[in-house]
Amino acid sequence: MTARLGSIIAGLVVLGVLIALPQMIRQYYVGLVTKMMIFALFAMSLDLLLGYAGLASLGHAAFFGTAAYAIALLTLRAGINSWMAFPAGLAASMVMGALIATLALRARGSYFLMITFALAQVVWSVGFGWRSFTNGDDGMPGVPRPNFGWSLDDTNAFFYFVLVIVGLATLLLVAIVKSPFGYALRGIRESESRMQALGYDVWRYQFAAFVLAASFAGLAGALYAYHNHFVGPEYLHVVQSAEALIMVILGGAGTLLGPAIGAALIIFLEDYVSSLTQHWLLVLGIIYVLVTLFAPRGLVGLIVDFRQRRAAP
């Protein structure tokens, strides 16, 4: 009970700080924190697969980008308003998730990783190659932010919009991992054959987890399209998928807090390093190597270990 109370209090403190933040820091950093929250959601959605269901996907950007592209195409090409385009974008990611899950869930382990990678590259090639429809590598600028009676074009207003959406999505994710469904995903991660022997239809759980993860990734992608007023093929690219994987692993897979911290850290570092050098990907690679060598369970795992060592006599 006290641990639970502690996490509720910690959550409220973080929420309070975030609410006060736009009054305390410069506009540029408000935008950066907005991006951190969006990628925290993206990383948490991937962790539902990697950390809970035990499925390592290298194609998660496909869902991030699908929603973003769907919204951009619907609003810019078809003139549909944001009220309709936003849910339609999420639905597009959900359908994409169901499609890719159907094909990829035939494989396991590194084969699963390769299939999700290959399928996501197919989606990327549509975004990159179909010039007349998607503008190819120029992307589509001018994606309008939704207008719910008040404008979200102001940086602070958009920050609060993202805070509310990401906050609600996080609550939903917490509910999912604490539910019997979340327990079952962990059971499947630990032993598929044992879960089958207990009567669980493993495929159904993995499929549902995949579609849910794709939907939350789509939500993050939609917010990111609004954030930048832009979509481009890099949203769908394998680098985006890999970056999300590193966020999860850096923070600690199998917890929701870890990937959120990992995402915030990577976004901050990317911003900082990019102001110094062009070689951000090199730095990212080095971070990845260091984490896998010295903190294979991520930062959260390190903290847990440290606490246990202090608690031990």
Q: Which residues bind other proteins (CB under 8 A)?
A: 175-176, 178-184, 186-187, 190-191, 193-202, 204-205, 208
Task: Give the nearest distance from C-beta 219 to other proteins in angstroms.
Answer: 17
Q: Whose Cβ is closer to other proteins: residue 182's or residue 233's?
A: 182
Q: Whose Cβ is closer to other proteins: residue 151's or residue 191's?
A: 191
Task: Give the nearest distance from C-beta 186 to other proteins in angstroms.
Answer: 6
* Tally: H helices and E strands in the chain: 14, 2
CB burial of residue 85 (10 Å; 0-12, 13-18, 19+) = buried
Task: Give the nearest distance from C-beta 100 to other proteins in angstroms.
Answer: 20
Structure token pair of residue 54? 């035990």
Task: Give the nearest distance from C-beta 41 to other proteins in angstroms.
Answer: 18
Q: What is d(CA 152, CA 163) in angstroms, rounded to the nearest whole number?
A: 13
Task: Give the nearest distance from C-beta 48 to other proteins in angstroms.
Answer: 11
Cα separations (Å) of 260 from 16, 53, 296?
A: 17, 18, 17
Q: What is d(CA 236, CA 128) in angstroms, rounded to the nearest whole number?
A: 9
Task: Give the nearest distance from C-beta 53 to other proteins in angstroms.
Answer: 13
Q: How many CB atoms lie within 10 A of CB 180?
A: 7
Q: Whose Cβ is closer to other proteins: residue 147's or residue 179's?
A: 179
Q: Whose Cβ is closer to other proteins: residue 208's or residue 303's?
A: 208
End-to-end CA distance of the chain: 25
Q: What is d(CA 265, CA 259) in angstroms, rounded to the nearest whole number?
A: 10
Q: In 3D, which of 17, 43, 10, 18 has the Cα closest to residue 298?
A: 43
Q: Whose Cβ is closer to other proteins: residue 61's or residue 177's?
A: 177
Q: Whose Cβ is closer to other proteins: residue 184's or residue 248's?
A: 184
